[in-house]
């Protein structure tokens, strides 16, 4: 039996080329077989198809068709974020150039836990994280797996900097913040009212006035339910007045930094001690591409850790960079490469144009909803999320319409509960979406609504 080829090394590209042809063909054929934004039939049908196709996951003898078969079944059974009718979540269609860069990262397989495993990748990460931190008015940034890890790190850094901390956040805050407080053994968070989906400064002021001890105020720039941005300058003022540390979760809204047209919506971001950013949302990166920006780089000192086989003292003194303090993870893939390629290939203008495009599509979709007597709009969108519902429908009907479209594989819409009512959520992250696609989406919802 001959040994299977490797992806890197001098012969790696030669070995990869025919395999890439197989993958691309299987992706194309699987997408055609699906025929829409989501596989039809619901969970049972999809699971049955996968089980029947895969068969024995670990057969006695290998199957030379495994790559084609499994890529095909995955593509056929995927929710396709590049389909204009797939608009439920903060699940972006990745850019081709970023995906191609990620292939190189997979082939070379650097691990960013020691310099001798990732000589160039470690320097590239340092360059890009500093540049992105500067965009947010910060001094440095760590690469994370996304908003959840970034928020957990923010609470950890606050706890260590202040010798203990209590989280104060709005009821609109991402669930990962209160969960992180639990994971870190922090006191029960103080949850402040967020009428209309945004943290209320008056309610925050009242809450802070009644609290003592080290506090971390968490604001949100781009909520997951409606894409709303908390009043950041007011919250920064209140945090400073009460001596509280400030964290801003801008996992969704942080992409506005690239847009000259929308950047002002993030005024106050530079006053935060820590900022969550997430480029697998308004950055069009393959998962994962998160960051945590920090205003004071000394906050990261608490992450320093020594393992003799990775960062021995004499190696560090001899000039080998110490990477263990750049993450709580040890083995860590070079997610920075796809980000770096995207920034360099598109530039600020190119990325800003994509941001402007999806925000404009959201406004256009809101216009369609407002003009249609059968629908109700929650509010004009702030980012690229639109909440709407069939007029006079019950919450049960709204939920049923969404599930019907999912089961039939015709459209992927999210759901959000605001103002005590259930809304359909369209999160528009595909810059190739056109007005006709928006009209088709609305027509599908109308056709699925019982009369």
Q: Per-residue pLDDT tens, the chain, 451 aa: give them.
A: 689 999 999 999 999 999 999 999 999 999 999 999 999 999 999 999 999 999 999 999 999 999 999 999 999 999 999 999 999 999 999 999 999 999 999 999 999 999 999 999 999 999 999 999 999 999 999 999 999 999 999 999 999 999 999 999 999 999 999 999 999 999 999 999 999 999 999 999 999 999 999 999 999 999 999 999 999 999 999 999 999 999 999 999 999 999 999 999 999 999 999 999 999 999 999 999 999 999 999 999 999 999 999 999 999 999 999 999 999 999 999 999 999 999 999 999 999 999 999 999 999 999 999 999 999 999 999 999 999 999 999 999 999 999 999 999 999 999 999 999 999 999 999 999 999 999 999 999 999 998 7
d(CA 396, CA 418): 15
Q: What is the pTM (predicted TM-score) of this model?
A: 0.97
Closest CA to 386 of 220, 174, 226, 197: 226
The position carrying tokens 């699940």 is 91
Q: For residue 451, what pLDDT is reported?
A: 74
- Tokens standing for residue 379: 């509010």
Whether the Cβ atoms of residue 143 and residue 290 lie closer than 8 Å to each other: yes
Q: CA angle, 278 as apex, 136 and 191 as ends, to 5°?
A: 85
Q: For residue 1, what pLDDT is reported?
A: 66
- Tokens standing for residue 274: 């820590």
> How large a percentage of the chain has pLDDT more than 90?
99
Q: For residue 442, what pLDDT is reported?
A: 97
The position carrying tokens 């669930």 is 175
d(CA 425, CA 224): 10
pLDDT tens column, 137-194: 999 999 999 999 999 999 999 999 999 999 999 999 999 999 999 999 999 999 999 9
Whether the Cβ atoms of residue 229 and residue 250 lie closer than 8 Å to each other: no
Q: What is the mean pLDDT of the chain?
A: 97
Task: Give the list of residues 6+ apart from residue 392 with CB closer than 8 angstroms, or none.
Answer: none
d(CA 341, CA 98): 7
pLDDT tens column, 193-221: 999 999 999 999 999 999 999 999 999 99
Whether the Cβ atoms of residue 147 and residue 290 lie closer than 8 Å to each other: yes
d(CA 13, CA 64): 19
d(CA 63, CA 234): 61
DSSP-assigned letters across all residues of 368-427: HHHH-TTEEE-S--SSSEEEEEETT--HHHHHHHHHHHHHHTS-EEEEEEETTEEEEEEE
d(CA 81, CA 428): 10
Q: CA angle, 127 as apex, 429 and 342 as ends, to 5°?
A: 30
């Amino acid at each position: 039996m001959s040994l299977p080829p490797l992806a890197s090394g001098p012969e790696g590209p030669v070995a990869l080329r025919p395999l890439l042809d197989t993958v691309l063909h299987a992706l194309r054929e699987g997408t055609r077989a699906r025929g829409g934004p989501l596989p039809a039939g619901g969970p049972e049908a999809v699971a049955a198809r996968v089980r029947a196709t895969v068969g024995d996951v670990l057969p006695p003898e290998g199957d030379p068709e495994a790559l084609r078969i499994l890529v095909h079944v995955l593509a056929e059974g995927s929710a396709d974020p590049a389909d204009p009718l797939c608009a439920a979540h903060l699940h972006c269609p990745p850019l081709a150039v970023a995906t191609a860069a990620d292939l190189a990262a997979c082939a070379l397989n650097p691990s960013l836990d020691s310099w001798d495993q990732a000589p160039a990748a470690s320097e590239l990460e340092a360059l890009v994280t500093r540049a992105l931190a500067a965009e947010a008015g910060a001094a440095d940034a760590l690469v994370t797996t996304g908003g959840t890890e970034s928020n957990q790190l923010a609470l950890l850094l606050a706890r260590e900097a202040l010798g203990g901390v209590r989280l104060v956040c709005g009821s609109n805050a991402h669930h990962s913040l209160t969960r992180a407080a639990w994971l870190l053994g922090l006191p029960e968070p103080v949850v402040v009212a967020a009428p209309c989906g945004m943290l209320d400064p008056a309610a925050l002021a009242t809450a802070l006035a009644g609290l003592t001890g080290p506090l971390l105020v968490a604001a949100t720039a781009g909520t997951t339910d409606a894409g709303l941005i908390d009043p950041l300058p007011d919250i920064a003022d209140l945090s400073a007045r009460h001596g509280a540390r400030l964290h801003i979760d801008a996992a969704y809204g942080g992409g506005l930094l690239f847009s000259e047209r929308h950047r002002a919506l993030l005024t106050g971001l530079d006053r935060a001690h820590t900022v969550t950013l997430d480029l697998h949302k308004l950055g069009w990166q393959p998962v994962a591409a998160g960051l945590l920006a920090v205003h004071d780089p000394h906050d990261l000192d608490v992450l320093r850790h020594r393992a003799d086989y990775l960062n021995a003292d004499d190696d560090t003194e001899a000039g080998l960079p110490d990477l263990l303090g750049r993450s709580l993870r040890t083995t860590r893939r070079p997610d920075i490469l796809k980000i770096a390629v995207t920034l360099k290939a598109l530039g600020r203008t190119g990325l800003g144009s994509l941001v402007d495009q999806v925000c404009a599509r959201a406004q256009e979709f809101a216009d369609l909803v407002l003009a249609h007597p059968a629908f109700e709009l929650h509010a004009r969108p702030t980012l690229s999320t639109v909440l709407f519902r069939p007029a006079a429908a019950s919450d049960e009907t709204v939920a049923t319409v969404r599930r019907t479209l999912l089961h039939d594989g015709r459209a992927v819409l999210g759901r959000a509960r605001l103002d005590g009512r259930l809304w359909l959520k369209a999160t528009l992250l595909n810059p190739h979406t056109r007005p006709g696609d928006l009209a088709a989406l609305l027509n599908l919802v109308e056709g699925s609504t019982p009369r």
